[in-house]
Amino acid sequence: MTVGLRLLVGLLLLTLAVTNGIVGMWAYGYYLQLNQTRIDPMGMAVYRTEMASIESKRTETLRVLFYGDSRAYMWPAPSAQLPQIEFVNRGIGGQTTAQILARFDAHASSLQPDLVILQAGINDLKTIPLFPDRRDEIVENCKKNLAAMVQRTTEQGATVMVTTIFPTANPSLVRRPFWSNEVDEAIVEVNAYLATLVGQQILLFDSAAQLAGADGRIRSDYSHDLLHLNDAGYAVLNQALSEQLRKVDSRINHVR
């Protein structure tokens, strides 16, 4: 075997080893998430230690709750811009709207927020390529669950800020076999529905419009991966969000 051929074979073996390692880590992550869901389907244990302390510290300060999936969980509070507001986060990664709705009373209502910032839905819609024959059912259930959370928030006298579902980035080679443009089309459909919910205690924050490029996907300089934002993406959102929250703070304090 020539030196050149040996180098080629070695390079191929190294590439296979690296690829197997990446796929293995990806598979392990999904396996871990699957079994965590089996043990605690709604994620009720995730914030167990924090709940009692926050509930006991309720003051007259405006309390704003980020609520939803990993996109909500990763959303940094704009505390520097709005030090007069108390921010709490109850996002849990990987959850569908059904799971987020199921824990609403425990993780949202019990905190008595003045405003709930809701970001959820992508974990429902990303399953469409896996269950293409259930596409309409998935989309309608997503809408129904989001509407139910909006209703629960307003029924307890709080205001809800519905944020449109973030667009996605271009799928990587690993994700392409499990992806479809139907996910992006469903995001547009659900976001259009969310806009129809706006009312006296229901606000819309169009996060998708803040993040999308000309092609409708997350701008590359705002994207961490297929589904998530980087710090720059959240900074753009918080700039616009802070302006809207100042108006909400004034309005809610006026009502009080």
Q: For residue range 19-69, list pLDDT tens digits in order.
A: 566 556 655 555 556 566 667 778 888 887 666 556 556 677 899 999 999
pLDDT value at residue 43: 86
45, part of any domain: no
Written as one string, the DSSP assignment of the chain is --HHHHHHHHHHHHHHHHHHHHHHHHHHHHHHHHHHHHHSTT-TTTTHHHHHHHHHT--SSEEEEEEESHHHHT----TTT-TTEEEEEEE-TT--HHHHHHTHHHHTGGG--SEEEEE--HHHHTTTTT-GGGHHHHHHHHHHHHHHHHHHHHHTT-EEEEEPPPP--PPPTTTGGG--HHHHHHHHHHHHHHHTT-BTTEEEE-HHHHHB-TTSSBPGGGBSSSS-B-HHHHHHHHHHHHHHHHHHHHHHHHH-
Considering the domain architecture, whether residues 58 and 1 belong to the same structural domain is answered as no
Considering the domain architecture, whether residues 122 and 243 belong to the same structural domain is answered as yes
Considering the domain architecture, whether residues 4 and 60 belong to the same structural domain is answered as no
pLDDT value at residue 57: 66
pLDDT value at residue 40: 76
Q: Higher pLDDT residue, 60 or 98?
A: 98
pLDDT value at residue 19: 58
Q: With bands split at pLDDT 50, 70 and 90, how would you rate the model's confidence at 256?
A: very low
Does residue 70 contact residue 91 with C-beta atoms inside 8 Å?
Answer: yes
Considering the domain architecture, whether residues 23 and 119 belong to the same structural domain is answered as no
* Lowest-pLDDT choice from 41-50, 68-77, 187-196, 214-223: 41-50
pLDDT tens digit string along 130-183? 999 999 999 999 999 999 999 999 999 999 999 999 999 988 877 778 799 999
Considering the domain architecture, whether residues 7 and 94 belong to the same structural domain is answered as no
pLDDT value at residue 47: 85
pLDDT value at residue 1: 62
148, part of any domain: yes
Considering the domain architecture, whether residues 153 and 231 belong to the same structural domain is answered as yes
- pTM (2 decimals)? 0.84
| Domains contained in the chain, number | 2
pLDDT value at residue 54: 63
pLDDT value at residue 2: 75
Considering the domain architecture, whether residues 3 and 87 belong to the same structural domain is answered as no
pLDDT value at residue 51: 60
Q: What is the CA radius of gyration of the chain?
A: 21
248, part of any domain: yes
Considering the domain architecture, whether residues 172 and 216 belong to the same structural domain is answered as yes
Considering the domain architecture, whether residues 35 and 63 belong to the same structural domain is answered as no
Q: In the predicted model, what is the mean pLDDT of residues 194-198?
A: 98
Sheet strand arrangement including 202-205: 85-91, 62-68, 115-119, 159-163, 202-205
23, part of any domain: yes
CA–chain centroid gap for 173, Å, is 23
Residue span of the structural domain in which 226 resides: 51-255
150, part of any domain: yes
pLDDT value at residue 86: 96
Does residue 251 contact residue 194 with C-beta atoms inside 8 Å?
Answer: no
pLDDT tens digit string along 218-243? 999 999 998 999 999 999 999 999 99
pLDDT value at residue 151: 98
In 10 A of CB 37, how many CB atoms? Answer: 14
